[in-house]
Structure formats: C-alpha cells, structure tokens
Structure 1
Amino acid sequence: MKLSAAYRLAATILHGFDEYRSRFKQITRDARRRFAEAAWLEAQQAAATRINLYDKKVGETLARLERSFTVEELIDCENWREARAHYAELIAQRLDYELAETYFNSLFCSIFHHRHIRNDWMFVYSSREHAAHRSDIELTRRWRIAGDWPGALTWALEEAPLDTPFDDAARDARLGSGFLVDNLPAALLEAADAEIELIESVFYRNKGAYLVGRISGGGEQVPLVLPILHDAPDEELNDATARLRLDTLIIEPDEVSIIFSFTRVYFQVDVAVPREFVDYLQQLMPDKPEGELYASIGFFKHGKTEFFRALNHHVARRQDRFIIAPGVRGMVMTVFVLPSYRTVFKIIKDRFDPTKDMSRENVREKYRLVKRHDRVGRMADTQEFSNFIARKDHFDPDCLAELLEVAPSTVQLKGDKVLIKHCYTERMMMPLNLYLEHSDADETRAVLKDYGNAIKQLAAANIFPGDMLLKNFGVTRHGRVVFYDYDEICYLSECNFRKIPEPLYPEQEMMDEPWYSVGPNDIFPEEFGPFLFADIKLRRLFLDLHPELFDAEYWQGLQRAIRDGRVIDVYPYRNKQRFADSGQPALTY
C-alpha cells in the first residue's frame, strides 16, 4: 500500500527527531566519564556541541524533506494538517512526546518562515494533557533518616552513580549533617518519617556534579542539592589519585533557584521522562517557569515552546499593555515590556547611534555567541522569535509609535495586528543604574561588590562585556547582577589590555587627544572608573571593592590562564557556604 505524502512527511520528521535524541543522549550520558576524568575542556566543547545539535539536526531533516517532497507538497497546509494528525499518533506512547512536538514545529516554521502559526497545522498546543499518561519509571531513590543524619548523607554520597570514590565520605557526611542540624526546621529534624529523596540521575555542569532532591517529614519539605567536586587541584589529578568531596549543601529554595538559573548553560543530566522530570523540579522551585526548567536540563527549544504558550495565555487575559521599558534608551536595541510579565522584548533598531560601528548581522552574531557560550550565571539567556504577532490594542499607543519609528523594517502594522518580524526575549531585571538610585548604603555596597564579581566571572569564562556601563547590567530578584546587553561583547582573548604609558612631558596630559597610540582592540583598565561612574562616591567604593579590575596585569593574567587551557571554577553558590577550599582557582557569586 502506498503511503500518503502526509504520512511520509510525519515519518520523515520523526526519523530526524530520533537521530537528534540519540545523539543528544550520547553527549549527555558521556558527562559521567568526562567528570570522572576531569576532562574540563572536553566538557566545555561537549556543552557547545549539544547546544548546536538541535539546529544542525533540524537543518539535516529539512534537507531530507526538500529532497523527498515537491515544493507543492511542502507548502500545502492541508498536507501539514494531515501530517500533524499522523505525527500525534506516532508519538502517542513516547515518553518525550512534548520534545517531539517541538521538533515538528521547528520543521514547519523552517518551511513557512514562522508564518501560518495555527494549531491545525502544528502543535501550538500540546496533543495531550500533561497528566494524561504517567510512566512507571522510578525517578528518585529514598532513605529513611531515623535520626541518623550522618548515615543518611553517607548513603546519599556513596550510592550516587559516580565512577570516582570520595576522599572521605564519612567526613563529608559529618560536615553536611552538622549544617543540616544547624539550619533545618525543628519539625523536620525531629520528624519520625523524615527521609532524603534524590533524583537517580546526576546533574553535571562545568567542574561540578550535583545530586538534587529534597528532605521531607513532619509535614515539612526543603529542597536539597549536594555539589560534588574533585578534591585535588587540576594539575594533581590522575586516575590513581582522583577523589571526590562534598563542597556544601544547598537547602534554601532561592539558592537552589540560582543553581538552575536562566543565566547558566544547561545541565548535562540523563532524563528518561522530560515532563515528569520537570514536574519534580518544579516542586522544588515552584516560582521557576516551566520553560526555564526545560532549558536548564538542556531542552532549550522546548523551553521556548513553553515560554510562548505561557506568554500567549498571559496576553489573552489582557491585564495590561506593552510599554517601552523604563530606563536609558539603547543605542542599538529598543526594549519594551508587559509590566505584569517577567520578560523584556528587544528589537534591533534600523539605524544605530553613530558611535556604534556595527551591522544588524553583527548584533545577531553576538547573541548567537551568548547562546553557545558558558554564561557562568552572569549573562541572561535569550529566546529568538520571528514573525511575532499581537493585537494593536495590546500596545500602549506611545510604545507602538516608538517601535514603528525606530524599527519600521521589523515592526509593521497590518490592520488591527502588529507584526514583529524579529525580536529577542529575556528575563526582566531592574537595570543596575536604576537600582542604585534607590538603594541604601548596605544595598549599594552589596550590589557593587556583585557587579565587580560579575565582570570577573565573565572574564574567567573568556568573555569581555565591551560596554560595561551600569545600564547594561540588571539586578535579579535574588539581588544578583547579570549582564544583558550583548552588542559589544567579545572574547577576552581578543582584547589587548594595556597600561597607559607615562607622558613624556606634563603638557601631554592636558591634550584633548591621547599622547599614545590606541589600536582597535586596546583597552586601558585605568580608565574604567570615570567611564563607569559619574558619581565619585560610587567610583571610590567600587575601586575599594575591586582594585584589580583597574590593573592591566590582572586582565593579562586571566588571558594567560585561558591560553594555557585552564578552566577556572565559577560556583553557583557563595564562597562562605563551602565546607573546605581545595586550593583550586575559583570564583563564587
């Protein structure tokens, strides 16, 4: 029997998805070996490869469709309507059905250039309810504590599926249980039914392995994250001496949320049933959007799908209208927000400020760089959308007028609809310059300390922000400083950090132009103070907190470390929370 074109279309897309999932799982599962071998550079490369994998496989599947079908067949929406129905049947029993639906959507959007977004032809909404099918796969392992907290933590560590032994699991369990006794609610500590529950799969990222779960009992529950590191500096590691140690315990929901932040590259973790995995994580972090949780475990494209669905649902409720974002207007981007939604929308302007020597494609490549790179908790994740459509009355008139004025090639009015051909979305944050206008002395000191730490951690990851002005950084609801303006971002290794040479005679210092040559990549850290801070008090405080940032030799030292292939640790928790210092170079927030 000859198969219909629609069925073959569905089967071809599913074949491409299977290829993608197979390779994704292979890269992810190999994280266990990379951690055991302390193969940090390989881990960085694997993370980038996995990020790029989705677009690579979609491209290959698209090429297969173009070889196998006529143009008429591929652009026939009725063909896609039938293909959607066949595809829903083919994936009905799959444990990763929602990821498969997103893959189908990616092929549809590639062919129709993000037009004709209708649930008849693609999966604008899922083909089944979340709770319609539950697997019998056990997600977690459990241990009844029975008053023996050191014993429970020893079980948690020694039964973890890691290929390297602990240097001293009893010591680590003792330190961890002491922390819990000092910090857990009394009702939980004394509960007869208290137990530790941990996800079977280990979460890997950068140089860390994380055991994730919760402690429950007596009607109480707290999340639990156990970060595990190698016990010796990198240069001393070998197969014979490699040992592990527990670095700290995380039990505060906000601290766990930071570990799974939108500012970090995705965990490598083996996920059998994505929907159930995300449901469990959301129990630990109820304020974290589903889309961010999917992205945090590597499924960033489906995270985008969940974000889009949630946004559509929110906008349909018509609580408020889009307005231009408060703060200093950008020279490259125009930014608008829906005040009741924790997201900003960024559009590239048609014309840039004369001081910005770049093109639209330059800007888009900067955002692609951030997507591929380790964001070390200091760069906001972005989602890229094409042909975004909203009703005209969803926009404040002044907002719509500005969008049409500064980006007429991107924003167009079609009847009662606004068509935005291209935009980025990011999590909403308070711009750092606005935060400092209203912060008290303690808040100012804390946020400037974190601002400097953010710059240092980006540099350790081989990223130089370029434009480090306060308005280009935001403050999250946790009080962390995050970089979000990427049009001048570059690799640190591309910069030439220089000390300003001494003038040959006093009059040179009074000249309007510098008395020394300045190359296109030259950066003089001594000039950062006046450039970043008009307020002399803030400038002096920042210099007191981070004097090394004004020293060219500091930056040159980071460049040497990067050239030598050293991967500097950036931990997603505070240094004071750590049980011990391994002596390895590290940065914490």
Structure 2
Amino acid sequence: MRRQTYQRIAAQVMVFFAEYRLSFQEITDCAQSYFESANWREIQTLSSERIDLYEEMVEEAAAALEQQLGDSIYQPLLWHQAKSYYSKLIKQRTDPELAETFYNSVYCRLFQHHLIDSENMFIESTRTGKEISSGDSIYSTYSTDDSGLVQLLGRMLDEVPLNLAWEHKRRDIRNLIVFMRDNAALDVLGQLESIDLVNRVFFRNKAAYLVGRLKLEKGSQPFVLPVLNNDDGGLYIDTALTHEDDVSIVFSFTRSYFLVEVDVPSEFVSFLHSLIPEKSRAELYSSIGFYKQGKAEFYRSLQGHLKATDDQFVIAPGIRGMVMSVFTLPSYPVVFKIIKDRFSSSKNVTREVVKQKYQLVKKHDRVGRMADTQEFTNFSFPRERFSDHLLEELKEVAGSSIYISGNEVVIRHLWTERYMTPLNMYIDSLVMEEDLEGLRHVIDEYGKAIKQLAAANIFAGDMLFKNFGVTRHGRVVFYDYDEILYLTDCNFREVPKPIYPEQELASEPWYSVAENDVFPEEFAMLTACHQKIRAIFNELHGDLLSVPFWKQAQDNVRSGVIVDVFPYRGEQRFNQLKLS
C-alpha cells in the first residue's frame, strides 16, 4: 500500500534521525580508545564532530524531503499530519525527546524558522512527565554490607570499564579513605551504606570521570572521581568530589561537552539532576553532548517561567556593548544578546564575522573560561514584558533584528547565555568594601582565565574587565567573543622606542600596526584604574605584559602541548606518592 505524503515525511525524518543517533554514538565510542592511548588532540575533535554532525544530518534530511516531494513539502497541513504519525513511530524509542527535537530542526530548516506552530511541531514534548527506563540500572551499587570499605573500593575500581591497569590501586584506595575520613562535612565513614556508580565513563579532554553518589544513612552526596592516564598506560584517581558546587563546576556551561555512551537520555539526565539539582535539565542535556535538546529544554523552561511571572525585561547590568545589545529578565538567570546594526568605529568586524566567532566558541575547547551559548532565529517574546523605553532602545541599536507581530516581540536572531556578574562591577564592589582577599582572588581568576584560554589557542582580544563575568562559584569567565582570535594567528610585538619625545604624546601610534599585531605591554592599561588592582595583577600575572610569555604560549600550541586544565582546584588533587 502506497504511503500517504505525510507518512513519507515522518518516515524520512525518522530515517535521518536514526542515522544521526548511530553516527553520534560511533563518534562518542572513539573517546575511550583515544583516552587509553593518550591521544588528547583527537579527543578534542570529537565534540566538534558531533556538533557538525547534527547540522549536517538536519540539512540532509531537509534536502531529501525537498527533492522527493517538491513544493508540496511546504504545506503546513501535511506537517500537522506528519507530526501525529511521527509520534507513533518514536513511541517505542528510548530517546523520543531527541527524536522530537530533530523533527523540529528539520521543520525549522525547511520553513526558515517561520510558521512556528504547536500543531505542526513539538513545541511541548509529548514525553513530559513520562519516565523512560532502560530496564537495567544505569549504575552499579557497592554496599558496605557485603564487605569493608577497603574491599568495597577495590571491587569498585576493578569493575571500572577501562582497559588500562591502575598505576597503584592501593594508593588510590588509601587516598579515597583518607579523603572520606578527613571530610568533616560528610562524616562518611560512620554513615556510608553504599556507593552507586554509573556504568558508563564520562570522557573529556585528558580525563575520564566516574560519576555516582554516596548513599548515607541520611540522604546522599554526589561522588565524582576524575581518573587520569599517566601517559604510560597506567590509571590513577586525581581527586574525589562530593560537594554539589564542585560537581556542578564539572558539568559547567563553560566546558566542552562530555563524551559518554547514553542509551536512555532522559533517564541519564534524571540521575544527574538528582546529584546536582541546581543544574537545569537543559544544561545537563547539553553537558552530555545533546546541545540541541538542551536548547529545546531551555526554551520550554523559559516559556513556563514567563507564564508564572510578570517582571519585565531590562537592559542587562554593566557597560553597554559596542557590538551587542544585551537584555535580561531579572527573575531568570539568562541574558539575550542581539547584534547591533552599527558597530563602534573601533570595532573592525561585520555581522557575519561575529556569527563565526560565536560558532568558533561553540565548537572549541572552552576550558572552563568561555560561556556556552544557544543561538535562536525568530524568537518570540510577549509584548507586555517589554516597556516602551526598552523597545525603543533595542529598535534604535538593532532595529533590523526586531519587529512587532500582534502581541509578540519577534527577534530575528539572538544568542542566549547564562547570566554572570560583569567583572568590572564585581571588582568595583570589592574595592568599595575594601575586601582585599576577594580582590586578590578575582584578579588571580582573571589572569588564570586569560592564560588558560591562551593554552587552548584562544586570544581574547578585548580583555577589558567588562568583557568577563563572575559565576556564582567565583570563577571568572570570558563572554564577549567578537574580537577573539586563534592565539597562533597573533603577532606579539614590543612597542618600538620613540625616536622623538613628541611621538609619545601623539594621539596615534608612531609605529606601524598590522591587523593581528598585539602589544602585551599595553595590557597594563587594563589595571590602571586602581593602584591595588594593578599591584595584585602585576604580582600574580605580570608575565602577561611580556612578549616572551605569549610567544612561549604560541610555541606550546604549535608543538601540540595540551595543558591540564581541570575543573577543580589544584589543592584538591590527591598526593600521588607511591606506598612502600
């Protein structure tokens, strides 16, 4: 029997989705062999490949439908019927929420993000509130009833699904027991009943993470063990993380996505959410590589929040940007960024270049120092949530991106990003409070952010304090991407000595400056605002003002050096001295 057109649409989308999921898993599966062979460069390419894969498969699906069905594909009624049929096709899948989002992406690609309609798309998931179970536990349980703690930890490490041997298992067990004994906040030794450990290993950069929880007499605690490869084929546990804030940083929006085998995404995310409930489901989906599902979950969360609140959007706190106009909702921890129609004369970029920079950040290793973003087209907001004053300001600077449609404000193109306190405002408050300890911490964080980005082959470009934010964990993160460059594309130079005294007083440089020339000694101007800030910066990170630092960083990148940038403090790392 010949299929109806709507059935052919649904079936074709399903074919491409199934191919996407298979290819996604094949890429993810490479992570373990790369980790075990210490092939760090290849691990870093995997996340980028998965991002490209999604866009490629959506593009191929849309093109195939156009080729097969011609102009009839643009009949909205067909998609209403196709959605209903597609819902039946995905009913038995273990990843139906991902399948719905893929369908939405194909629809949006064909209709150019117009005709956004719940009749034709899965604006609300049909799976909301419906738990899916794999039938098997996603974690293994190690109980203290079965053995003592030493035996329990030994058995747990023996069953870790990695093919390398432990460098010194007895030392790792000792470190874990000492950690539990000394962690007064847990009192684990007296309360521990069992350890639940996820059966899959989380890979990212140079580490493999074992993720689980400590089940105590009263409640539970997250339990994350970063495992490193000593490059000689031996494994060791670098630290243990049991505080929710520490585990939240491991799954931060400022880091690349994990490579982990996931059979039932919703079940996996639910378990992670039980460990770090402060993390949204949107962030958790993104953290394990399903960034489009993270985007869908974010959109639904925002719509629900808008229905439950009545505060109005405002311009985001901080100094107005030269390239972006940024607004936020005070009750929601996200900012919305729109490209302005005209840039400041000091900005030598175009709209397309800005888009390319944001895409670069999406795919690059963010080393905990650049914020992830979500890109939206034709995003609709309730008109009542915008004051006339705010709309006038947005129209004045970004009029080509905004229009009113009935009771909605539609923004043709924007990015969303987690809200952070602008670094300049954060520093100003510390100076006013005369909090020297806090000032020292945040200036140290600022310098570390610049250095760690450089180690990842990123030069921030405009390094003014206003272009950095401070997270709720006190980490400094870069979030203004319109001037970023690959570090290896920069030409670091000394400022030439003036020939005449008058040259130093001139408003323009007395020396030639090429496009990517950078003069590190000019960075001293960044901290000239306050004597104490300058003194702290020069003490902790004065090497950033020297050309040799930057040239050495370039040499490291070019020679393939991948610096260890772990999502926990150095003092948290275990003592790796071998036992006699």
Q: Distance in 2 between matches of 1:537 and 1:447?
A: 13
C-alpha deviation, 1:158, in angstroms: 2.1
8 A Cα contact 1:158 1:169, kept in partner: no
C-alpha deviation, 1:485, in angstroms: 0.6
The answer to whether residue 446 in structure 2 is matched with residue 455 in structure 1 is no
8 A Cα contact 2:171 2:576, kept in partner: no
The answer to whether residue 414 in structure 2 is matched with residue 419 in structure 1 is no
Correspondence for 1:407:
398
- Worse-matched range after superposition: 538-547 or 525-534: 525-534
- Worse-matched range after superposition: 457-466 or 180-189: 180-189
Q: Distance in 1 between matches of 2:365 and 2:323?
A: 24
Correspondence for 1:520:
515
Query: Mapping of 1:429-508 within 5 angstroms?
Result: 429-439=420-430, 440-504=435-499, 508=503
Query: Mapping of 1:364-403 within 5 angstroms?
Result: 364-403=355-394
Correspondence for 2:179:
179
**How much identity, in percent, do the aligned residues show?**
48
Correspondence for 2:556:
561
Opposite residue 436 of structure 2, the aligned amino acid is A
Correspondence for 1:2:
2
Correspondence for 1:587:
none
The answer to whether residue 324 in structure 2 is matched with residue 325 in structure 1 is no
C-alpha deviation, 1:187, in angstroms: 5.5
SS at match of 1:403: helix
Correspondence for 2:299:
308
Correspondence for 1:81:
80
| CA distance 1:533–1:291, change in 2 (3 Å) | farther
Correspondence for 2:568:
573
Opposite residue 171 of structure 1, the aligned amino acid is R
SS at match of 2:400: coil
TM-score (norm 1): 0.94
Query: Mapping of 1:272-287 within 5 angstroms?
Result: 272-287=263-278
- Worse-matched range after superposition: 44-53 or 32-41: 44-53
8 A Cα contact 1:188 1:220, kept in partner: no
Opposite residue 525 of structure 1, the aligned amino acid is P
Opposite residue 261 of structure 1, the aligned amino acid is S
The answer to whether residue 317 in structure 2 is matched with residue 350 in structure 1 is no
8 A Cα contact 1:222 1:252, kept in partner: yes
The answer to whether residue 280 in structure 2 is matched with residue 289 in structure 1 is yes
- Worse-matched range after superposition: 134-143 or 346-355: 134-143
SS at match of 1:213: strand
Correspondence for 1:234:
none
8 A Cα contact 2:367 2:456, kept in partner: yes
SS at match of 2:165: coil
Q: Distance in 2 between matches of 1:452 and 1:150?
A: 41
Q: Distance in 2 between matches of 1:467 and 1:318?
A: 36
Q: Distance in 2 between matches of 1:212 and 1:318?
A: 35
Opposite residue 29 of structure 2, the aligned amino acid is R
Correspondence for 2:544:
549
8 A Cα contact 1:386 1:420, kept in partner: yes
Query: Mapping of 1:24-423 within 5 angstroms?
Result: 24-71=24-71, 73-146=72-145, 148-183=148-183, 185=185, 188-191=188-191, 194-231=193-230, 237=231, 241-423=232-414
Q: Distance in 2 between matches of 1:66 and 1:83?
A: 15
C-alpha deviation, 1:186, in angstroms: 5.8
Q: Distance in 1 between matches of 2:186 and 2:408?
A: 57
C-alpha deviation, 1:566, in angstroms: 1.6
Per-residue displacement from partner, 1:523-572 (whole Å, max 9, x unpaired)? Answer: 11111011454223212211111111111111111111111112111111
Correspondence for 1:586:
none
C-alpha deviation, 1:507, in angstroms: 5.6
Per-residue displacement from partner, 1:406-465 (whole Å, max 9, x unpaired)? Answer: 111101123332111111000001000011111222111111100111111111100011
| CA distance 1:539–1:200, change in 2 (3 Å) | same
SS at match of 2:114: coil
Opposite residue 229 of structure 1, the aligned amino acid is L
Q: Distance in 2 between matches of 1:344 and 1:186?
A: 36
Q: Distance in 2 between matches of 1:26 and 1:142?
A: 28
C-alpha deviation, 1:515, in angstroms: 4.0
Per-residue displacement from partner, 1:183-209 (whole Å, max 9, x unpaired)? Answer: 154654213x61111100000000000
8 A Cα contact 2:323 2:343, kept in partner: yes
Q: Distance in 2 between matches of 1:485 and 1:413?
A: 28
Opposite residue 204 of structure 1, the aligned amino acid is F
C-alpha deviation, 1:381, in angstroms: 0.5
Per-residue displacement from partner, 1:23-56 (whole Å, max 9, x unpaired)? Answer: 1000111111110111111111222111211001
Q: Distance in 2 between matches of 1:289 and 1:242?
A: 36
Opposite residue 131 of structure 1, the aligned amino acid is K
SS at match of 2:344: coil
Q: Distance in 2 between matches of 1:120 and 1:246?
A: 51
Q: Distance in 1 between matches of 2:251 and 2:197?
A: 16
Per-residue displacement from partner, 1:91-123 (whole Å, max 9, x unpaired)? Answer: 001001100000000011111111222221010
Structure 2 gaps of 5+ residues are none
8 A Cα contact 1:343 1:427, kept in partner: yes
- Worse-matched range after superposition: 485-494 or 176-185: 176-185
- Worse-matched range after superposition: 562-571 or 203-212: 562-571
8 A Cα contact 2:180 2:187, kept in partner: no
| CA distance 1:227–1:539, change in 2 (3 Å) | same
8 A Cα contact 1:223 1:256, kept in partner: yes
- Worse-matched range after superposition: 514-523 or 248-257: 514-523
8 A Cα contact 1:318 1:394, kept in partner: no
| CA distance 1:184–1:101, change in 2 (3 Å) | farther
Q: Distance in 2 between matches of 1:47 and 1:100?
A: 20
Opposite residue 148 of structure 2, the aligned amino acid is D
| CA distance 1:186–1:163, change in 2 (3 Å) | closer
8 A Cα contact 1:347 1:423, kept in partner: yes
C-alpha deviation, 1:176, in angstroms: 1.4
Q: Distance in 2 between matches of 1:563 and 1:393?
A: 53
SS at match of 2:101: helix
| CA distance 1:533–1:312, change in 2 (3 Å) | farther
- Worse-matched range after superposition: 336-345 or 110-119: 110-119
Q: Distance in 2 between matches of 1:216 and 1:348?
A: 48
8 A Cα contact 1:347 1:422, kept in partner: yes
C-alpha deviation, 1:511, in angstroms: 4.5
Per-residue displacement from partner, 1:220-273 (whole Å, max 9, x unpaired)? Answer: 311011001112xxxxx4xxx411111111111000000000001100000010
8 A Cα contact 1:468 1:532, kept in partner: no
Structure 1 gaps of 5+ residues are 232-236, 583-589
SS at match of 1:421: strand
Q: Distance in 1 between matches of 2:282 and 2:450?
A: 27
C-alpha deviation, 1:344, in angstroms: 0.1
Per-residue displacement from partner, 1:43-94 (whole Å, max 9, x unpaired)? Answer: 11222111211001111111111111121x2111110011001110000010
SS at match of 1:229: strand
